[in-house]
Chains A and B, each alone.
Chain A
């Protein structure tokens, strides 16, 4: 990977032969080598004064703490922190392009667990185990982050990102509307369907249901998590796709019905932010998505339905709890020129101080710092804010998390995009689940074959 200096000079000179010397003076330097791993011992906070960190972030509630409190970090270290926020597919694209051209534009990136196999294979991320061992700052309490989360953010035993989000599946529903019309809280997928039917007649101006329908891999979790309730997996252990499996089709059919017949008219384009907005603005009565929304929906400043939300962890016909497994963290680019500072930032972000503020001031009740979650302050606050319904269900939701149904492979993004394009167009066209799954099965076959799976 590293070339000798003279070869780089030669390439650059021959590339710039046609430009004047003045141009060469103006040319920026491309990213070159990387700094050589952690220097021993906890770093001095002011060792990097004047430096700048660039963060590539994916949209989501977990970055609010970063944006609100980065000033603390800047003051403590005398540095500048710049952030760029994009939707998930764009953030991934930018990171891959940046890593591939080795320009090191970004020091830190949001890392969704499902992209880890891809990033690991291409060595885009800096492995963090050595850093934890040799350069741990007091900011990082090793016991604070749940071990399972650290394991999920590792591939082949190497940790690649410090987790800052653990998410499970949850159904949110308007308990006020349910009470009003005498519908009992949904505990199974069948309950959800019958509730949707009743609500459609009882409250015609509100969509009974909302969820993710956008045609990108970021929506896949909804559909695979739901069908897990039916005991169905899209892929078997050899990574052969079984989209036309009857149990899987049944699950897809129910969810498709919910989105087609009981969902908003733009259901086929909803990202998680937009789907959430439907619910928080009062335009949808139920939403199947991630536990992350609990705090948002119960915050009167962000949501019009605060205080009216019920939480349930429904099961499917096979007795499996519905899933929405998602973990996210911050990782360091392998090509960053500021790895020491970046590592310091990662530790600061998950420090007790920062996460405590995040939970208490920003209302992020599911911040994965065990010290914070088990503290008295936290218990007092959740009681005071009336969110105990939600926080009480969190541990169970986290315990329900499984990855059995998940294609944890480098081709995940392609699989997710292909599958969701079919589903999204089925939502808007009214296609049945059978038809959609028939159409997508050969495409998934092609991807598996191309990647060398399913022999």
Chain B
């Protein structure tokens, strides 16, 4: 969203009625607000912290109520889950798909994003963008049945190739949309200068525009990585065992007789490390990505 103020106008901060600066007096309202913030952080982080707590607790402890919060730490869930399930393989698959999909999608998506950013014909461009956007809007469940039948016929069910194809399709539109936005921020003068120097448009793309959008590439790439890593539905329907991903293995902890909470959360702890780490790395771009570029 473009800044609606002129350069001379003071920043929005001073529009607040509240006395400025942290050195102001503590009123009741301010105290309540401070407490609210603390509660907010607790609410936001508690489930995550709890997950870690249970992952490092023994079964007896996490089934005995509040006491689990002060129980001794143990690695038994981790050793158990690694020995009784193929967690290693599933994490590897998730990593493989996320990385390869990101690479493929960045290459193809940046090319398409660049091309679309230069398109003069608004009608064509708008329609292509709508077409592209609809894959972000459309519920994945709608394509479950045809994709499942298609992949069954192509013998691609439970194959790594199949999953990478599916994830490429799943993320491509999103990547194009984001890269389109980033390319439009490149000052045209720099690209014109390149043309004047005798470069072909494609060389301009490769040698001038692309390097200028590296932060955007990284942001898009990491978002694609996270979306692919977290994807569950297609993994559930289109994999059996060989090509299964980390999220798709979580249901198997809900056994017939009882639920292996500890092991499940231990596996989950291992599995959320990549999206958490990478997501926090690009937190500047997270909101932009999730809102499809409409908020900078």
Interface residues of A (CB under 8 A from B): 8, 11-12, 15-16, 18-19, 23-24, 26-32, 58-59, 84-87, 97-98, 100-103, 105, 273
Contacts and interface: CB of A to CB of B under 8 A. Distances in A.
Contacts of A30: 155-159
B165 A103 contact: no
A97 B129 CA distance: 36
A24 B100 CA distance: 13
A144 B8 CA distance: 95
A26 B155 CA distance: 15
Contacts of A85: 255-256
Contacts of A98: 240
Interface of B: 96, 100, 104, 151-152, 154-162, 164-165, 168, 240-243, 252, 255-257
A102 B156 CA distance: 10
Contact of A8 (B96, B104, B155, B161): B155
A87 B256 contact: yes
Given A23-B161, A23-B164, A59-B257, A15 B242 contact: no
B165 A19 contact: yes
A99 B104 CA distance: 32
Contact of A15 (B96, B156, B255): B156
Contacts of A8: 155
Contact of A97 (B104, B156, B168, B240): B240
In this complex, the member of A32, A87, A103 whose beta carbon has the largest number of chain B beta carbons within 10 angstroms is A103
Nearest to B104: A18
B240 A12 contact: no
Given A18-B165, A100-B152, A29 B159 contact: yes
A28 B156 contact: no
10 contacts: A12-B155, A12-B161, A15-B154, A27-B161, A30-B155, A59-B255, A59-B257, A100-B152, A105-B242, A273-B257
A20 to B, nearest CB: 8
In this complex, the member of B96, B100, B162, B256 whose beta carbon has the largest number of chain A beta carbons within 10 angstroms is B256
Contacts of B159: 27-30
Contacts of A273: 256-257
B158 A103 contact: yes
Contacts of B155: 8, 11-12, 30-32, 102
In this complex, the member of B158, B243, B252 whose beta carbon has the largest number of chain A beta carbons within 10 angstroms is B158
Contact of A24 (B104, B158, B161): B161
Give 3 nearest A-B pairs by CB, closest first. A59-B256, A101-B157, A30-B155
A101 B156 CA distance: 9
A28 B100 contact: no
A37 B10 CA distance: 83
Contact of A16 (B104, B161, B242, B256): B161
Given A27-B160, A31-B155, A87-B256, 13 more contacts: A8-B155, A11-B155, A12-B154, A12-B161, A15-B154, A15-B156, A16-B165, A18-B104, A24-B161, A28-B160, A59-B257, A105-B241, A273-B257
